[in-house]
Structure 1
Amino acid sequence: MRRLIQIFQTVLGLILRHPVTGTSIIAVLPDQRIVLVRRTDNKRWALPGGIVDWGETLESTVKRELQEETGLKTLGSPRLVGVYSSPQRDPRMHSICVVVEVAADGVMSVGDELEISEVRAFSRAELPVSGLSHDHDQQLQNYFEGLTVLA
């Protein structure tokens, strides 16, 4: 049922010709590794995240999406990395993505097998950059440069 609601919201956004708001999460584990998920639709690694549900805050979306996709919990409040709004950033639709960094902990597990096939933590040197889904390469580059971006 939840998935049908998400699909309806996406279609409604497309019909009304307004961008859909979502989030990407740079989840940092206590050992400083960064968590990525492998998407089922394009088979690429990506930052966890998703669309803000009706009546939800960005912070609650971050907590929900991280838990649903990775099994992890957030520790403390998210830190804003940037807001990305290029119409070309997501091949499915025009979306505005609010990117945040969070400290995360717990046991990694795939929660939503329709969207995610694998969850893995990478050291900075191991990150599979230059091939991440959407514009996540740029988001991580801005994060590592310590920038807060409006793009």
Structure 2
Amino acid sequence: MPFDFLACPACGAQVKQYKNPLPTVDVIVELPEGIVLIERKNEPFGWAIPGGFVDYGESLEHAAVREIQEEISVQLEEKDLRLLGCYSDPARDKRSHNISTVYVAKASGTPKAGDDAAAFAIFPIDALPEPLCFDHARILSDYRSKKKAGTI
């Protein structure tokens, strides 16, 4: 069922509470040595593409730039983001139904772990760590394929 019921605070009548998916963004940050992944400090534990939830009133692009700054302290510009795709499998995150818009962006500078990241590391695309959280193995497989095809 896509909704639960709440009690109206004024009259006590049952009111539908809709459960909508939550929008998130992830960014595959490219450095000359490889891509940046974070080791999550909160559950689910493992390696992940840096990203997070979109705030109310925020564009996807702004959220992507903000999340990268918060998680790995790298500056990106919205104009530098390239869309990889959208991932919406309801089972992609055990915590809730999240829909992720995934971007790719080249960056320079030295990342450092922040926010939800216990650590970060730079990996060549053909030597990724395990375990990868969420559906990030699928996303990175799509990235690898599009990179080899020259379409991203």
- TM-score normalised to the size of structure 1? 0.80
1:122 aligns with 2:108: no
In structure 2, runs of 5+ residues without a counterpart are 1-16, 148-152
Match of 2:113 among 93, 110, 113: 110
| Residue in structure 2 matched with residue 70 of structure 1 by the alignment | 72
| Residue in structure 2 matched with residue 133 of structure 1 by the alignment | 133
Q: Which has the higher helix share?
A: 1
In structure 1, runs of 5+ residues without a counterpart are 1-14
Shift of 1:43: 2.5
| Residue in structure 1 matched with residue 103 of structure 2 by the alignment | 100
Q: Distance in 2 between matches of 1:86 and 1:62?
A: 20
> Is the 1:71–1:106 contact (alpha carbons within 8 Å) kept by the matching residues of 2?
no
Q: How many residues align?
A: 129
- CA distances 1:54-87 after superposition (whole Å, capped 9, x unpaired): 1111111111000100011125421111111110
| Residue in structure 2 matched with residue 25 of structure 1 by the alignment | 27
Q: Give the aligned CA root-mean-square deviation in angstroms.
A: 1.6
- CA distances 1:23-81 after superposition (whole Å, capped 9, x unpaired): 1110001x151000011123300000001101111111111000100011125421111
Does the residue aligned with 2:106 lie in a helix, a strand or coil? strand
Amino acid at match of 1:105: S
> Is the 2:34–2:124 contact (alpha carbons within 8 Å) kept by the matching residues of 1?
yes
Q: Distance in 2 between matches of 1:39 and 1:94?
A: 19
1:42 aligns with 2:34: no
> Is the 1:86–1:96 contact (alpha carbons within 8 Å) kept by the matching residues of 2?
yes
- Report runs of 4+ in structure 1 exceeding 4 Å deviation: none
1:57 aligns with 2:59: yes
Q: Distance in 2 between matches of 1:77 and 1:59?
A: 10
- TM-score normalised to the size of structure 2? 0.79
The alpha-carbon distance between structure 1 residues 125 and 144, as it changes in their structure 2 partners (threshold 3 A), is closer
Structure (1 or 2) with the larger CA radius of gyration: 2
Give the share of equivalent positions with the same residue, in percent.
36
